[in-house]
Amino acid sequence: MPINKLILGDNLEILKSIEADSIDLIYLDPPFFSNRNYEVIWGDAGEIRSFQDRWSGGIDHYIGWLKERVEEMRRVLKPAGSIFLHCDDHANSYIQADILDKLFLRNNFRSQITWKRSSAHNDAKQGRKALGNIADTIFYYTKSDEYIFNQQYTEYSEKYISEFYKYTDEGGRRYRLDNLTGPGGASKGNPEYEIMGIKRYWRYSYEKMQGLIKEGRIIQTKAGNVPAYKRYLDEMPGVALQNIWDDINVIQPQSKERIGYPTQKPEALLERIIKMASNEGDTVLDPFMGGGTAIAVADKLNRRWLGIDQSAMAVKVTELRLQKQQDLFSAPYAVQLHKYDYDTLRYKDAFAFEAWIVRQFGGTPNAKQRGDMGLDGKAADGAPIQVKRSDNIGRGVIDNFKSAAERFDKNLFEKNIAAQKPIGY
């Protein structure tokens, strides 16, 4: 991918145009099988059509719809690339068995991440007879067994710190005491010598031990005790990341991150995924861009990126997020709203062509195709629209349209003339 790009359109068609083995990391948060209430978020034509396509045939149709897209995602993913698919319990078993295991193979399954997205809530008073659902699933697969992985860490709990890092030095730094003896003794090649009056097999050579003593890193709590290593809390990375993520909260109503997108994911969630499975300069793809969180985070982390959504509003919202966070040193990006093939449109079904043109113009096409006085829809201001595919438009066509516009709504016709506004388009 030569530049960062936001693309408006059907992700299946756009994925087919992307070069194979060109993407390092894919994160997708497709519409959940449960979230019908959130389907038409922006309310534009692309979302509405996709909503109708996905739900027309139940779970089998939904899985088929998603599978053909994930199949293209696997094709564009680099051999060392990873994919993270975000879903919930309404379809996760189908998604794993029928899509991910079949396309990426089970041996490339890396983890089933559980993201605790909210605290416990009680729906019993509303008559709910089920366990509370407070988590999403994120499936983590790779394309091969050689893949990018950067170990991530979480902070130690206060309980852990108080139990294990019990000591504080003169400077106020907390530390714990670690064992210095060499496990396995001579059989493991550990050196034996005496230090601080104690003879043992040690982890380090005599020279290394002397250096640690000079640095003040070896302590003997009292005479006769085995010396121990001072391990400082502020030098430790934390707890190696596990598959239960309960330290990232959903976006609160007052959060500066909040953009009003009902299923918006927190930036911390995407930051963890992107840091773990990619490096600076790698390309991140989000084929269901939505509110643009993955793209905004990828841009902050100096990754290249590609965002796709069939909602024009989603593209514009993401572009606004990028504009707010960019500075003079930010990488440039492009917005590709769409490119259409002239001949395909020119010779498609006449009524379908008329409806498409009216929608692109921002209007509403006629529900019926007969008895419409030659008018094909109306604009946002109510004025009539007529679509002609003829190569030559003469005066007779314009005169007939003027007469039809007057018959369509005489009061609106006269009002527009008085206001010197168009009587039609």
Residue-range domains of the chain with CATH: 4-151+240-336 (3.40.50.150), 156-235 (no CATH), 342-418 (no CATH)
Owner of token pair 């530049």: 3
Is the pLDDT confidence value at 54 over 80? no
Range among 40-54, 226-240, 256-270 rated most confident? 226-240
Query: pLDDT tens digits for 233-250?
Result: 999 999 999 999 999 998
For the segment 183-209, what is each residue's pLDDT rounded down to a tens digit?
A: 887 788 899 999 999 999 999 999 999
Closest of 239, 236, 237, 231 to residue 169, by C-alpha: 231
The residue assigned the tokens 């976006």 is 251
Between 261 and 169, the higher pLDDT residue? 169
Report, in angstroms and rounded to the nearest whole number, the Rg of the chain calculated over CA atoms: 31
Q: How confident is the model at residue 75, as a pLDDT?
A: 98
Amino acid 36: pLDDT: 58
Task: Look over the chain and give the mean of its residue pLDDT values, rounded to a whole number.
Answer: 89
User: Does pTM top 0.85 for this prediction?
Assistant: no
- Find the range with the poorest average confidence among 35-49, 119-133, 174-188: 35-49
Collect all residues with Cβ–Cβ distance below 8 Å to 94 and sequence separation of at least 6: 59, 63
User: Tokens 């605790």 label which residue?
Assistant: 116
Q: Rounded mean pLDDT of 113-124?
A: 78
107-135 average pLDDT score: 82
* Local confidence band at 374 (pLDDT 50, 70, 90 cut-offs): confident
* Nearest alpha-carbon partner for 285 in 269, 308, 319, 267: 308
Length of the chain: 425
